[in-house]
Amino acid sequence: MRMRPTLSWTPTDDLPPGTTDPQPVADALRFGGVLVLSGAGISTESGIPDYRGEGGSLSRHTPMTYQDFVGGPQARRRYWARSHLGWRTFGRARPNAGHRAVAAFARHGLLTGVITQNVDGLHQAAGTEGVVELHGSLDRVVCLSCGTFSPRRELARRLEEANTGFAPVAAAINPDGDADLTDEQVGDFHVVPCTVCGGILKPDVVFFGESVPVSRVEQCRELVRTATSLLILGSSLTVMSGLRFVRQAAQDGKPVLIVNRDATRGDVHAVTRVALPLGTTLTTLADRLGIPVEGETSAGIG
């Protein structure tokens, strides 16, 4: 069963206010057993925009849905032209202070795991191991006919060869790697098929309107069950794919802590929401805990 896309959420007046005191998060980290759930907000300082923050991409961009993607070749041509261009930008992105701080917490045994809603691979590039990519990753491609997986860099090479000279200037790049292009800029962009069976290729990411694989959801639920607390970093929790884990933790009596400048759909379940920028906040927390945060690391996807 596919979920209807949830693109927006309006905060209510009865939500608890945010705070500028990150001490409750420091206390939870010091105790250990913390499960991190990150969203697009942790990657904004790496130059990748979020969906719903100030200036977020949903104010000007409607993401491709699974139904549109499989519905016709023109939609796939538009998607792959835009995504091919956006991929180049994603490949240049580097982990920021927030990603590096999470990696430091993990190295020092404070975390039981990291679940990310992002598809940019920046947690792994910062050195965090065993990240559960809730919505998949842009660095893999899957055939919808035969199920074969292949590296995105190989598809990028094939698309470059099939579309020599394709280099339009995008108005913006979106969190899903989709570049804003007009229909004229897309033109007659040539989409390539699966090399195994000739089927339709799709990035190994969960589109809006598509369900997260059941096995992945259960893996995340188990991580919530074994955690002491749940720490949300940079997510509005608008979509149920992430919110359900917040509800699960709250129902189990486990503290939910949020670091996000704007109100979130999970605030009613949280013991605190720290309304501060992620990079500086997480770096400050590492300093309080006496944990060194390593400098710039390797590139993300690509």
How high is the pLDDT of residue 301?
53
Domain presence at residue 293:
no
- Element containing residue 78 per DSSP (H, E): helix 73-92
In this predicted structure, what is the pLDDT of residue 110? 98
The binding site consists of: 39-59, 117-120, 143, 146, 194, 197, 234-236, 278
Q: Is 123 a catalytic residue?
A: no
Instruction: Classify 138 as helix, strand or coil.
Output: strand
pLDDT of residue 16: 79
Model pLDDT for residues 166-200, shown as the tens digit of each residue: 888 777 777 677 788 888 988 899 999 999 999 99
Confidence at residue 9, expressed as pLDDT on a 0 to 100 scale = 57
Say if 11 falls within a structural domain.
no
- Give the model's pLDDT for residue 167: 83
Structural domain contains residue 46: yes
Residue 232 lies in a domain: yes
Has residue 3 been placed in a domain? Answer: no
**Is 13 within a domain?**
no
Whether residue 5 lies inside any domain: the answer is: no
pLDDT recorded at residue 177:
72
Rounded CA Rg of the chain: 19
CA-to-CA separations, 27 to 7, 23, 42, 277, in angstroms, rounded: 34, 6, 21, 19
Q: What are phi and psi of 205, to 5 degrees?
A: -130, 155
Q: Which residue among the candidates 108, 135, 190, 269 is catalytic per the annotation?
A: 135
Q: Which residues are annotated as a binding site for NAD(+)?
A: 39-59, 117-120, 234-236, 278
Q: List, for the chain, all residue ranges whose pLDDT scores fall below the cut of 70.
A: 1-9, 11, 13, 51-62, 175, 296-302
**Residues in the annotated binding site for Zn(2+):** 143, 146, 194, 197
- Domain count across the chain: 1
Residues 6+ apart with CB under 8 A from 181: 78, 81, 82, 85, 168, 170, 171
pLDDT at site 7: 52
Residue 145 belongs to a domain with what CATH number? 3.40.50.1220
d(CA 181, CA 47): 19
Residue 181: predicted pLDDT: 85
3-state SS, residue 261 = coil
Residue pair 272/86 in contact (Cβ under 8 Å)? The answer is: no
pTM: 0.88
195, part of any domain: yes
CB atoms within 10 A of CB 241: 20
DSSP letters, 168-207, are PPPS-B-TTS-B---HHHHTTPPPP--TTTS--EEEEE--
Q: What residues make up the domain containing 120?
A: 23-288
Closest CA to 102 of 23, 39, 19: 39
